[in-house]
Amino acid sequence: MKRRGMAAVLALCMLLTGCGARRPTEDASEEAAQDQSILLGFSQLGWESAWRLANSESIKEAAERAGVSLMYENAEQKQDRQIKAIRSFIAYQVDVIAFSPIVETGWDNVLQEAKDAGIPVLTTDRMVETGDESLYAGFIGSDFYTEGLHAGEFLIEKARRENLGELNIVELSGTLDSTPMLQRAEGFRDAIAGQQNLHLIDSMSGDFLRPKGKECMKVLLEKYERIDVLYSHNDAMTLGAIAALEEAGLKPGEDVIIITVDGEQAAIDLLKEGKINCVIECKPQIGDMVMELAQKLAAGEEIPRCTYSEEQVFTEYDADLDSIPPRGY
Ligand code: GYE
């Protein structure tokens, strides 16, 4: 859609990965059709969980379906690599930039550069914190605050139904300063505020990683004599924590109530087995919506500031857990 120089073409050759690469066209009509397609620069934050892998797949597959040319970069959990990727998209003059910000802060300069270059920016999955809201066009992803609220509400309901009394809760939080970490923590605290029997005794960051989830759980088990509830911000950390509990001779789901967020197949399977009590769904498959919004932005149309996915809660009280369709990741 835009004129690009030789240096930019070389940059494209180096950067294009996966699907969506533009190839030399065979005839004029195909060339005309391709001219309508947009070029989207997408910066993924890393590989930390099954959720993330499913999210990357969803973006790539949706781009192919929508005929969007995709410049895809993975930052391997480093903010400076995301900033570098965004700068390369600006240099290449992509039509739209989308990225999943690893943390909320520290984006103003690079977003200003995108704005100065006239390139609209969409944040996907996670949000940015900025004093100037005009630096990005919108956000598409999950309502993490509501996820946190649902986690707390499940616990209140379980305590009420089973007349559980005093409960010591530990939290495994995600990457510090990331939107899901901040909002899942806040929603949960707001839900349980005023419940005299629910005591949040500790919170540790396991960075959304399975091995760190296990390490943190070990530390917590050594530190506290009695832990009744684990609230974990993602399934990867939960799976690690469950391993630590079992190694300590405890029965997850019975001795310790387990509430987790995401809903990967492994977590749903453990819910069915009784080792997890509640799974708060967070959908990684947002690729089609990302493409739709990117195409609107490229056409100069307005998009909503926030577009949220619809999500469910799966619990041990659900009548028919076997009817949950395969999760796909
Ligand atoms: O819950 C976790 C992933 O940002 C919503 O990041 C995402 C979170 C997801 O690593 O598994």
Per-residue pLDDT of the chain (329 residues; tens, 9 = 90+): 554 443 343 333 333 332 233 333 445 555 544 556 999 999 999 999 999 999 999 999 999 999 999 999 999 999 999 999 999 999 999 999 999 999 999 999 999 999 999 999 999 999 999 999 999 999 999 999 999 999 999 999 999 999 999 999 999 999 999 999 999 999 999 999 999 999 999 999 999 999 999 999 999 999 999 999 999 999 999 999 999 999 999 999 999 999 999 999 999 999 999 999 999 999 999 999 999 999 999 999 999 999 999 999 999 999 999 999 999 99
Task: Quote the pTM value.
Answer: 0.90
Q: Which of 282, 311, 329 to mutate to test the pocket of ligand 1 (most atoms within 8 A of CB)?
A: 282
Strand 167-173, strand 198-205: pairing: parallel
C-alpha 51 – ligand 1 centre gap (Å): 6
Q: Which atom of ligand 1 is nearest to the CA of 208?
A: 10
Q: Which atom of ligand 1 is nearest to the CA of 262?
A: 1
The token pair at 186 is: 């806040």
C-alpha 37 – ligand 1 centre gap (Å): 30
Question: Which residues make Cβ contacts (< 8 Å) with residue 249, sequence separation at least 6?
Answer: none
- Using a 6 Å cutoff on CB, does residue 139 contact ligand 1? no
List phi, psi (to 5°) of 136: -140, 155
Question: Which residues make Cβ contacts (< 8 Å) with residue 84, sequence separation at least 6?
Answer: none
The token pair at 189 is: 């605290």
Let me know if 80 is exposed, middle or buried by CB neighbors in 10 A (0-12, 13-18, 19+).
exposed
Q: Which of 59, 208, 231 to mutate to test the pocket of ligand 1 (most atoms within 8 A of CB)?
A: 208
Q: How far apart are CA 273 and CA 58, in angstroms?
A: 28
Find the DSSP H helices in 3-48: 6-15, 28-35
253 φψ region: left (φ > 0), alpha (ψ -120 to 50), beta (else): left
| CA 75-290-144 angle, 5° bins | 75
C-alpha 154 – ligand 1 centre gap (Å): 20
Residue for token digits 């990117």?
294
Half-sphere exposure of 159 (CA within 13 A, CB side): 19
